[in-house]
Structure 1
């Protein structure tokens, strides 16, 4: 056995622990969920999915999850684009501080984040009272869909900055200088050079932000005590609820959630291929 063959076998051997953990903690739970999603008591069928799509309550949960995830991801990535680009133009010490702060705040979620927003933007929150006294707002409900979009956007921004900041390394300064020498304005530079180069990173980041928002549970539960109708709340209620205990229906909801993310991923891949062909 030559050295190349031994190296391949060694690499495969090192891959075994990862493969075992991946099967146990990724494939096996997904298979269990998919299996139980088509199980109704002692029979098999699609009754769980029929119940979900025929119920206005569960359709509302799907709609709320998609709306909150989409808008928070969109606002988050727009702010992250501006922030990441601006970081390239500032002093290195400030840049390092902002990156470290973004890394820290990207993990600031769940109960602490919900508590912080209640103090700031709750019905009697400090910022809410100041804005009302200044006449900027008349009525604001943090516990509504709009409030949740603002809350989700907050924890999307640091993650977006961390993901997009390295992507701006692909933009070389001499490209801008060459475009200016050829008479191109700022809009033409971004339209024909900047955005096509950044498109894969932008699409990938947007998909990650969508997944991050779709699966968020602790923050919205801590803020609304489980009273706002989104998919993660409904799944948890069906798994851990004392009255509405139905793990098979929860599995069907989880499959729908996985299906939504799969659809988003396929769209992402299609857009990437299309942007690649257009760029060529």
Structure 2
């Protein structure tokens, strides 16, 4: 005897069709296209593009720079967002709403406007750079170096981190801290054994999103350095646009490397989540 789906489920499936078509056309199909073309070389099909990639110190340097900038900026952004989100829970609601509105606005402040703002403030002749030099707080600062880019990336990571972490603090109940205090636990013990384990899934998820946000950033670093700093998005764009040499197949291989890095990070995130759940139990 065949089972028929209820009418409501059929309607839900029909409503899902436009999303499925959109997702396939703009997510799955481009990824498949890139994966296929990453295997096409001048000699035919093979792994020649990947061999060329891993044999080149130039492209390996791009991978290293991308990972370093993304990791440092994600960790710094996560830590600042963690303390900021916790502090927002302790202040007056009007000020909290104002800060959240500013975080929501500044999370979309990226690309060319952000690079231009940092050049005005922290460039070689930037207003803040000159003030800090006159005060004797810094001797030299290069916004266009790796450390400058880490600072720039951290700036646009913080608002996104706050928006993602702030709701996670709803899981912490005030009576948990009061009970821990009554049982003799100090503030560090409360955070070590109660608060942080509860926040761990949100922290790991936010870190992965920040890392993906930094790894894929292109407009900001291009506008700041005019494409002269060696990171993966810049190299992919250069190979596609043909500024130096046109090689879309090698660009596809670089793109698949970026996808592989994100897949590895995501799998590690899932493994750490399962581990944290087992520890909590």
The bucket for the TM-score relative to the shorter chain is: over 0.9
TM-score (norm 2): 0.98
Give the aligned partner of residue 6 of structure 1. Answer: 7
The residue number in structure 1 matching 2:51 is 50
Give the aligned partner of residue 132 of structure 2: 131
2:223 corresponds in structure 1 to 222
Structure 1 residue 41 displacement after superposition: 2.7
- 2:94 and 2:69 map into 1 onto residues whose CA distance is 35
Within the alignment, does 1:104 sit opposite 2:105 as a pair? Answer: yes
Give the whole-Å Cα distance in 2 for the aligned partners of 1:167 and 1:31. Answer: 35
Matches within 5 A, 1:162-181: 162-181=163-182
User: Structure 1, unaligned stretches of length 5 or more?
Assistant: none
Partners of 1:41 and 1:91 lie apart in 2 by 64
How far is the alpha carbon of 1:112 from its aligned partner? 0.2
Q: Secondary structure at the match of 2:150?
A: helix
Give the TM-score normalised by structure 1. 0.98
Structure 2 distance, partners of 1:167, 1:15, is 29
Deviation at 1:242, TM superposition (A): 4.0
CA-based RMSD = 1.2
Q: Take 1:244 and 1:98, find their aligned partners in 2: how far apart are those partners? A: 46
Q: Encode CA deviations 1:129-155: one digit per residue, 9 max, x unaligned.
A: 011111111010000000000000000
How many residues are matched?
A: 280
Cα displacement (A) at 1:4: 6.2
1:230-255 alpha-carbon deviations (Å, 9 max, x no partner)? 00000000000243110000000000
The whole-number CA distance in structure 2 between the counterparts of 1:183 and 1:243 is: 66
1:160-214, Cα deviation, whole Å (9 max, x unpaired): 0000000000000000000000010001000100000000000000000000000
- What pairs with 1:174-253 in structure 2 (closer than 5 Å)? 174-253=175-254
Paired residue for 1:266?
A: 267
Counterpart CA distance in 2 for 1:47 and 1:277 is 43
Deviation for aligned residue 1:2: 10
Which SS does the other structure have where 1:90 is aligned? coil
The alignment partner of 2:6 has SS state of helix
The answer as to 2:18 corresponding to 1:17 is yes
Corresponding position of 1:144: 145
Q: List 4+ stretches of structure 1 deviating above 6 A.
A: 1-4
Structure 1 window deviating more from structure 2 (237-246 vs 201-210): it is 237-246
